[in-house]
Amino acid sequence: MATRVLDQHQAHAASHDEKTGLWSWITTVDHKRIGILYGATAFLFFLIGGIEALLLRIQLGSAENTFLSPDLYNQLFTMHGTTMIFLAIMPLSAMFFNFMIPLLIGARDVAFPRLNAFSYWVFLLGGLFLNASFLFGAAPDQGWFGYANLTSKQYSPGLNVDFWMLGLQILGIASLAAAVNFFVTIVNMRAPGMTLMRMPMFVWMSFITQVLLLLAFPVITVALILLMYDRFFGSAFFVPSGGGDPLLWQHLFWIFGHPEVYILILPAFGIVSEVLPVFSRKPLFGYAAMVFSGVFIAFLGFGVWSHHMFSTGMGPLADTFFALSTMLIAIPTGVKIFNWIGTMWGGSLQYRTPMLFAIGFIAMFIIGGLSGVMHSSPPADLQQTDTYFVVAHFHYVLFGGSIFGLTAGAYYWWPKMFGRMLNEGLGKVHFWLMLIGFNLTFFPMHFVGLNGMPRRVYTYPEGLGFELLNQVETAGSFVLGVAFLVFLVNIFQTWRKPRNAPADPWNGATLEWAIPSPPPEFNFAEIPTVHGRDALWELKRERGGTLPEPARVSGAGIHLPNPSYWPLVTAVGILAFFVTLMTLAATGIWPVIASFALLLLGVYKWAYEPAG
Amino acid sequence: MLLRTVARCSSRWVTALCLLALVLAGCSPENYPQTTLLPRGDFARIADDLLDTTVKWAILVFVLVEGVLVYAIFRFRGKPGDPEPHQTHGNTTVEIIWTVVPALILAVIAVPTVKAIFETNAVPGKDALTIEVIGHQWWWEFRYPEYNLTTANELHVPIGRMVSLRMGSNDVIHSFWVPQFAAKRDIFANRETRMWFTAEVEGDYPGQCAEFCGIQHGRMAHRIKAQKPAEFQAWVAHMQALGPKPAGAAAPPAPSPRYAEGEKLFTAKGCLACHSMVAVNAPKGMVGPNLANVGGRSYLAAGTLKNTDENLARWIRDPQGIKKGVLMPNLGVTESEAQALVAYLRAHK
Amino acid sequence: MTAHAQAAHLETSTGLDNRKVAIWTFIGSECMFFATLISNYMVNKGKSLVGPFPHEPWTSPAGQHFEPIFEIPLVTLGTALLLFSSLFVVLALSGAQRGNRKALIGWLAATIACGVFFVGMQVYEFTHFLHRGLGFTTNLFGSSFYTLTGFHGTHVTIGVLWLATVWVDAVRGKLPPSKSLNLEMAALYWHFVDVVWIIIFPVVYLIK
């Protein structure tokens, strides 16, 4: 009896394909909606990070400028870095993990839909927490890598470091939860016939990214806990006067920090590996090499961390080890670049916007990779490190790499996610403005850095020659700003178009293009069986070249998870826990305990509610 | 149509001109006093040689790979009605080649790298001039154990003699950067780090802190005066005369009434609590820079201001307004008191 | 969990339930967490500026004498009980899977009792150390020791609470063989917590 009632309930729910209203978004456990939430939130934070950058560039546009005070400048550069890494690039990648992974592997959702929602809410609350610091005039100001012992209570007595320290802990929880979820999803929920070596490359790169998240985030969690103990309870883990060692912080941070940069780039690698074959009309060149180079990069990525510490005087043996391991990691990275070019070689290249950004990615990432190799030599690096040369390097790989790649993904998957095609003309304008603006902003930094400009300086004097290149860089940053305005215009214009994009506008190779745009809540009416890579091209070949536009079916009888608000409640409990921890000295232990109780309540209710 | 062509043409020219300007501006390191690209010391030359090697290979790889990419963009441009291209999945031979060749290039870079790592970590010989560098928020303390001298922010070294830097910090991590002669090395409160160099060319060289160290990291510059050995010795001798007066000896007459007033104010305002006025046997761990020869320095407040009377007076009256967050408080010094203090300090060259 | 959801065993790529793969994944991540904490302890070994010390006596400048702080016999007992508790939870799980309610409830209770004793032993140890002059901020040894063993103890406590929740379900007859995965997940976590202790015990208490 009970079962039949349940069936009817599910059929009823499934036939309501389009739940609307704020409550449906708050309680959603649908990976597609969660993906859109991630994307919208991340894009907003990206724009905030961009405005922070423009303010920095205005300040540096002339020598001895007083547009920003030194403390505000230091807060802005710290928040720019922290925002771009943790609140923009990572969650933009998460947008694609969420929306696309189940579709690419032929699944109906991720392994743990409520855990998925939980990750999003914790991310949102963490991002808000971090930015709330501006309201207190105490935004983090110690640099995005927060070196001890500047971060000790003695030298950073304000709330700035506390916001950063606790904010990152909150965000770490979101990342870890999501990583468990996607790891299990990819391992366990692939369509029949989809062996690991038949997975789309975006899924492979995302898979490796989840492993990196799972292994790297615990390290920074510990580092931040030790820092918190130093600041709140008076321990001396990183405080020299108590026997502690500031260098320990650097080791712990970079053991996390280096895998983190691969976390930032691998999803973009994956996106480019999806886009290039479709717009070259031939398969990815060297699939196996791409998989193994990715695995090798991840593995080796745990063995290079001290290349961020070449100037600390670790001694010749340590320097040699890390120089060699860093050079070694250039090899699989180079292999990927060659494989991408090999994909294009002999193809029939279609220069639609996603392809432009994918090619732009390759061109920019080559430059970033080469400056990275230049850094790998410690004696040379002793001149380059902590100058604008390294600022150039990481912007080439993170912006020229990750952002270009993510933008390619946005244009590519926009029709699938929203049922509308972004405007091609505006897309091309966006691309060219971004390419030109990006290079104008960051290429000169190689030169001004090698010519003596250190990083993280709120101003520079006349007479060192830095003015001209800084002016060019500032001008370039505004060109970049215009590029993003064009993108925003494109998004708004597209929003008002009817939702009638075809299922397969690009002649795609992977499963997501076999279902309607946007997909129904249950994704696939029937879970497909896969017989090889590029499964959709296979299928189209069998059926004479194209497939008919898929019909929208009701999905009655398909079993879908119920919406839930317990993930949000638990997330709020976590936020409350960290806020009350920050105010511990003023408000005491009871609010912390109450928050923890709220957290436990959320978890308990979540565990015991029917999953549906 | 015409508009698009014009836009394309002019944008091409504009881009080309911009790039040319950039290249010209960037490629003349003589315009940059703090450049790393004009080594004038042995350590810096080791770094520069390695940079040379890596840059040459980087440019070669850049031209090759970007060249192939650009070629592919034009050569394989798809046209409507194109047949499906050959569905290549890979090519084992090519893949092996492009794995091995980069490995070989890296090996070629690795060999001189490892050699240079050991060279730069070598311990200078006994005849090197040992200088202790102590970083403070936000100024530099320099000590010469061989001569028992202490000074701040401006370092004098003889050319042609190896300098052995033994470095530490008074507070947070800083980094001592000498781009013209050496490179940079971070400095810590709980361990000593070292660097060495031999300056080869006389001159006056700027440098800066290169590890974010707090609010005024951007204003923590130093200057190195590389001098002929005889001139350096003369400077040492001069500094050694700026020692404490022997006990019981009569104080020398004040050069002027303003000086005398300034001398009294220096104690009355509490300046002596943070700043030492003697260069020999100066106490350690002072909050503020040693001012024994401040009158003759080129800059004030670690490169923040040129050392003019007007700037010195401004600094004394309002350090917080000029360098916010610095440890020197505003002491409510009047205009007239400032002039007296300037007279006193200016005489200490 | 509805009966419907559990009985409809969706085929997974590995044949394992999603939740089982998830707990292993989580454990993998936690390994890095404890590896970092243990490394931190090891890196700080011998770096304390003042005592009390773990294995040597120390006299303070003020003349106060401190014996080595560890009381190995008590901790060894706790360790042994924790190790046995892993066996007990295996027996409980076997009971759950075979539908033997008595075995399940009995052995699970024994597991929980051992866990409670272990936590109790740690609370006693911490309190005693505090009395004897080793506070959290006394020296690097104190900070590192309390952080490492404190986090482990917290994990044990969470494990005890988890097992207790499962035990209550078992007593109420809500843990049939089809739901034994609930216990299996808790048991895997419990084994992990045990293995971590097997590393901590020699590194902290035994090796000088």
Mean pLDDT value of segment B107-134: 97
Interface partners of chain B (CB pairs < 8 Å, 3 or more) are: A
* Closest Cα in chain A to C138: A235
pLDDT of B23: 61
Residue of C nearest to A239 (CA): C140
Which chain B residues contact residue A448 at CB under 8 A?
A: 26
Contacts of A155 in chain B (CB under 8 A): 137, 171-172, 214
Q: Give the pLDDT band of residue B6 (cuts 50, 70, 90).
A: very low
> Which of the residue ranges A178-182, B8-12, B31-35 would you say has the lowest mean pLDDT?
B8-12
| pLDDT at residue number C11 | 85
- A312/B36 Cβ within 8 A: no
Mean pLDDT in residue range B259-282: 94
Could you say which of B36, B113, B218 has the minimum Cβ distance to residue A377?
B113
Work out the percent of chain B whose per-residue pLDDT is above 90: 85
pLDDT of residue A545: 85
| Sites in chain A below the pLDDT cut of 50 | 1-17
Please answer yes or no on whether A348 and B113 come within 8 Å at the CB atom. no
- In order, the DSSP letters of A542-608 are HTTS--PPPP----TT---PPP-SHHHHHHHHHHHHHHHHHTHHHH-SHHHHHHHHHHHHHHHHHHH
Three-state secondary-structure class, residue B166: strand
B contact test, residue of A150, A300, A307, A382 with most B CBs within 10 A: A382
**Fold adopted by B259-346:** Immunoglobulin-like (2.60.40)
Measured CA distances, C73 to B162, C78, C134, C205 (Å): 60, 9, 19, 10
C-chain CB neighbours of A255 within 8 Å are 36
A11-45 pLDDT, tens per residue?
A: 444 444 457 899 999 999 999 999 999 999 999 99
Is B170 in the A-facing interface, judged by CB distances under 8 Å?
no
Condensed to tens digits (0 to 9), the pLDDT of residues B167-199 reads 999 999 999 999 999 999 999 999 999 999 999
Out of B21, B34, B82, the one facing A464 most closely (by C-beta) is: B34
| B347 close to A (CB below 8 A) | no
Q: What integer is the mean pLDDT of C136-140?
A: 96
For residue B162, the SS3 value is strand
Architecture of the domain delimited by B129-240 = Sandwich (2.60)
C116 domain-assigned: yes
CATH number at residue C90: 1.20.120.80
Cα dihedral A527→A532→A538→A542 (10° resolution): -80
CA distance C194 to C111: 12
pTM of the model: 0.94
The pLDDT value recorded for residue B17 is 63
Number of other residues whose CB lies within 10 A of the CB of residue C144:
24
Residue A284 is predicted with a pLDDT of 97
Q: Which residue in this structure is represented by tokens 């743990």? A: A112
Out of 1.20.1290.10, 3.40.50.10440, 1.20.1260.10, 1.20.210.10, the CATH code matching A27-549+557-563 is 1.20.210.10
Optimal mutation site among A222, A229, A233, interface C, most CBs of chain C within 10 A: A222
- What φ, ψ does residue A312 adopt, rounded to 5°? -90, 0
What residues of chain C have any CB closer than 8 angstroms to a CB in chain A?
1-5, 8, 11-14, 16, 18, 21-22, 25-26, 28-30, 32-33, 36-37, 40, 43-44, 47-49, 136-137, 139-140, 143-144, 147
Residues 6+ apart with CB under 8 A from B98: A334, A335, A338
Radius of gyration in angstroms for the set of CA atoms belonging to chain B, rounded to a whole number = 28
Would you kindly state where each structural domain of chain A is located, as residue ranges?
A: 27-549+557-563, 568-612
Interface test with A, best of C11, C140, C146 (most A CBs within 10 A): C140
For an interface test with C, the pick among A10, A119, A187 (most C C-beta atoms closer than 10 Å) comes out as A187
Averaged pLDDT, C123-150? 97
Alpha-carbon distance of A11 to A360, in angstroms, equals 46
C–B touching, 3+ CB–CB pairs within 8 Å: no
| pLDDT score recorded for residue A1 | 40
| Number of domains present in the structure of chain C | 1
Contacts of B95 in chain A (CB under 8 A): 286, 289, 335, 338-339
The chain A residue lying nearest C5, using CA atoms, is A612
Which of C12, C24, C25 has the most A C-beta neighbours within 10 Å, making it the best mutation to test the interface with A?
C25
Structure tokens at B290: 């040693």
B89 reaches A (C-beta below 8 A): yes
Say what percent of chain C tops pLDDT 90: 94
Question: End-to-end distance of chain C based on CA atoms, in angstroms?
Answer: 50
Chain A: residue nearest B113 by CA? A377
Task: Please compute the mean of the pLDDT values over residues B333-349 and round it to a whole number.
Answer: 95
Chain B from 114 to 153: CB within 8 A of any A CB: 114, 116-121, 137
Q: Give residue C184's pLDDT.
A: 97
Chains linked to A by 3 or more Cβ pairs within 8 Å? B, C
Whether chain A has a CB inside 8 Å of the CB on B327: the answer is no
What residues in A contact C175, CB-CB < 8 Å? none
DSSP A261-328: HHHHHHHHHHHHHHHHHHHHTSPPTTHHHHHHHHHHHHHHGGG-GGGG-GGG---HHHHHHHHHHHHH
Q: Which of A216, A235, A610 sits opposite C136 (nearest CB)?
A: A235
Q: Are strands B149-152 and B184-187 parallel, antiparallel or unpaired?
A: unpaired
* Residue that is written with structure tokens 């993170």 in the block: A398
Give start-end residues of each CATH 2.60.40.420 domain in chain B.
129-240, 259-346
Q: What is the pLDDT of residue B24?
A: 59
Residues of B in contact with A371 (CB under 8 A): 58
* pLDDT reported for residue B269: 94
Cα–Cα nearest to C26, from A257, A115, A190, A606 = A115
Inspect the interface and report whether the beta carbons of A3 and C4 lie closer than 8 Å: yes
A234 contacts C29? CB cut-off 8 A? no
Please indicate whether, in this complex, the C-beta atoms of C37 and A221 are within 8 angstroms of each other: no
C85-117: per-residue pLDDT in tens? 999 999 999 999 999 999 999 999 999 999 999
ipTM, two decimals, is 0.94
Distance from CA of A43 to the nearest CA of B (A): 29
Cis-peptide into A149, omega within 30 deg: yes
pLDDT of A612 reads 52
